[in-house]
Structure 1
Amino acid sequence: MELRHLRYFIAVAEELHFGNAAQRLNISQPPLSAQIKELEQNLNVQLLERTNRSVALTEAGEYLYELSVQMLARLEKETAILQEIDRGERGKIAIGFGGSVVFQILPRVLTLIKKQYPKLEIHVSQLTTKQQIQALLTGDIDLALLVPPVGEKELSTHPFYEEKFIVCLPKSHPLASSTGPIAMEDVSNEPLIISPREAGEGYFEAVRSLYVKSNTVMNIAQYSTEQQTMVSLVAAEFGISFVPESTSHIQHHNVVYKEIDVTHYKETVLTWHKHTQTPLVHGVVELLKTFKV
């Protein structure tokens, strides 16, 4: 049984007249009659009761008619979906992101994607930079918003956005109530809470270079991969932490966020695997290249 058999049968079942059905299908009547007879033989079922003056559906024919209409409607719907997938308009995409992206950037990114691709199923995962790179290489995620550098040749990057570093202090800190930016020399050698290098070299080096730029001493007291945990450790007076501006959205009654007297940025890049660009991934990459903070 082929799809044409079902289409021919539907026309005959609705017209109950071979001549009218043949005209509707834009074919001659003898081939149509032969195709219906072939369908009955293939199914080993009588679908039509024929006389010289009339054509009527048997009970089996009525059932096949309803089934055929449903099948062709489903096929038409699924074909449209297949075409949308082929055009990169529908499907699934997995996006990895770092901790600081979640507060301001991620909601705007997801809104932008959903507006352009309303039929897209998006999966997001919060991962360290190292985890994001590994997930891109294995195909577990399609895109990532991470802190460079990215040394893997299989991965492509595009500058995404920058945000300034600020300092997170315990509320009990002597500088917590000061006005104006905090001088780096005033917090030199203080216990520092920082993301470990192995979680993401870019973030670690960005903070380290802040100390180098200001000619101050870096004194690591505690490591944390999550921004929320960093803030909690500062609140518990384990030390201070230099965090991106967006981290200030984590409110805690026992911390304050202050600007610093050295302008220093954390960079985030859009990253994807250059050899696994489906039309959908390619489209989302091009869309996100237009993103403005």
Structure 2
Amino acid sequence: MIEAILFLLLGLVILLAAGESLVRGAASLAKLANVPPLVIGLTVVAFGTSAPELVVTVNAVLGGAAGIAMGNIVGSNIANVMLVLGLPAILTPISMAVPRLRRHALALILATAVFCGMVYWNREIALTEALVFAGGMVLYFALMAYEARTGEADIALEAEGLVEARPHLGKTLALTIIGLVGLPIGATLLVNHGEHLAKMLGVRDEIIGLTVVAFGTSLPELATVLAAAIRREASVSAGTIIGSNIFNMLFVGAAAGFAGTSRFSDEAVTYDLPMMILATALVAVLIFTRRKFGRMLGIFSLTVYVAYIVFLGTGSV
């Protein structure tokens, strides 16, 4: 068991490092090719930051570990709200009165409704679901493009922060190659040993995806929001979390469906999806009422998240 845990953690470290390397390398490569910053932000940055979740999910589906794939999507969305926003909120309240955040919250509600509706309909993600999710992703991509063109979003500025003023070709290629090679290696270690660990513990595959994998792939967002909270600028991170959750359901969900058929277990439908809906409802209500994610709410959400993880870890489900 110790060996499986060590290799699982090694896969997680490789996955995160490779994901960061790929985003930076690809963004620099696009800049060297004179691709406008706006396009870099809308494509490389937006899709690249979902690379760990994407590769893990596709790898898990292709490897017959659909439970890990589905647990990763749902678990990441739960962690992004309850943990990634909840923990920093304990340090400093996070304002949800961010300009234009309501339209993205509405997009999150619609994406969650579509995702959960399709799953509750036939308890699987296959080609039909993939096409629906892909269509939703195109619509959300159009919203981001509109905001960027009208100067309502800072996506281009975000992209600029990932690249040097004058990127070096050799370094850029090295970062890109490391990312491309490292992602599948990390994902393979994570999925194979995660599935092995689940069998050894006698729990369903989704639990590994909901806990270890989801927590690990949410670490970059957690580090970013925590750093922003220390600077008392965490409010700007709310939009990042919303966008990340939408990408997880629509972009990663579509990729899973195109890769194969993944079925949700009865336990996942009974416990995990409702938890994701609860997390979505929590952040959506705060955004539409323009209330802060305050310290008490942060303590509450973190407590609920920990209790949920312990509940899963007991093997009760």
With normalisation by structure 1, the TM-score equals 0.20
Larger proportion of helix = 2
With normalisation by structure 2, the TM-score equals 0.19
Q: Which has the larger radius of gyration?
A: 1
Larger proportion of strand = 1
Does 1 or 2 have the higher relative contact order (CA < 8 Å, sep 6+)? 2
